[in-house]
Amino acid sequence: MIEPHTRRLLVTGAGGQVGTKLIAEAAAHGFAAIGTTRAELDITNRVAVEAAIAALKPDAVINAAAYTAVDRAESEPELAEAVNAHAPGLLGVACNRADIPLLHVSTDYVFDGSANRPLREEDPVAPLGVYGRSKAEGEVALRRTTENHIILRTAWVFSPCGSNFVKTMLRLAAQRNELTVVNDQMGSPSAAIDIAQVLLTLARLSLDRQASGKTPPRGTWHFCNSGVTSWYEFARAIMARAAAQGAPAARVRPIPTSAYPTPARRPANSALDCTKLTNDFGIVPRPWTEALDDVLDRLLAPTH
């Protein structure tokens, strides 16, 4: 039972990596979390979205739902656009009507990766494929439908749950002696729990400011764990830590992106500059290597 004074937080995409962590960590931030999966709430359906907001009466909404199958999106553009481009606008309209903040998770794939430095919030978006384009369109729809929003762009998400690069590398290492991984795509890995903590901190801050008559934070920020690496170096770090804990570890051989063609083009450099988040809110991301250690401790812990 939710206490009358407890803030209610609606989390869409509650079955995903970030959504799972949002539900797990919400209480520590003073929220009673109400999580919905795609089966429980179709965020591409305007009537369903408006009915959910009206019935659940959340104090804030975090949209962690997304179509994230980057390659499959090239052959399923309508589905990707429905979830990533259209749904944020529907949530924006409903949250604006209810006068509540909407926090939304976006991606490094809104950029083309041609910059030779970490990307800032004000850099122009130029997505390379359907997934990135649909996420960029979702940002526009959200900004157009509600002023009281926070867009948090992140990248290379990993956690002990769901599908992600860390788990894939561990699975393949148990099957093969050698893995080939691209070494010319650069970025910053991001632990789902750290993304969730930032979103919950910002949601709480937004409601606190609103309650005291101040303008809540509105706009776009970047968050990922600190440090820039390649997928190849990321894989090597995973294998080194796995070997140290006695788990199967394969050799990792670097290859260029050209040797591993995929339906969707990837940004060559999608590292995100998180300076604005630190300057505005005092949030300092921890190193991705430290976050990786925590996740591998969970994944490689002996089972009894």
Q: Looking at the annotation, which residues are catalytic?
A: 131
Compute the distance between CA of residue 252 and CA of residue 183 in angstroms, rounded to an integer: 11
Q: Which residue, chain included where needed, has tokens 């309650």?
A: 211
Q: Which residues are within 8 A (CB) of 296 and not within 5 positions of it... i.e. 6 or more apart?
A: 166, 238, 241, 242, 245
DSSP state of 148: S
Compute the distance between CA of residue 275 and CA of residue 304 in angstroms, rounded to an integer: 43
Tokens linked to 230: 């390649």
CB-count exposure of residue 5 (10 Å: 0-12, 13-18, 19+) = exposed
Instruction: Please report, as a single letter, which amino acid is at residue 273.
Output: D
Q: Which residues are within 8 A (CB) of 16 and not within 5 positions of it... i.e. 6 or more apart?
A: 64, 65, 66, 68, 162
25-30: long-range contacts, CB 8 A cutoff, minimum separation 24: 25/193, 25/196, 25/197, 25/200, 26/200, 28/200, 29/200, 29/201, 29/203, 29/204, 30/6, 30/204
Compute the distance between CA of residue 129 and CA of residue 74 in angstroms, rounded to an integer: 7
Instruction: Please report, as a single letter, which amino acid is at residue 47.
Output: V
The answer to whether 250 touches 173, Cβ cutoff 8 Å, is yes
**Greatest Cα-to-Cα distance within the chain, rounded to the nearest angstrom:** 60
Please give the angle made by the CA atoms of 28, 32 and 35, to the nearest 5 degrees: 110
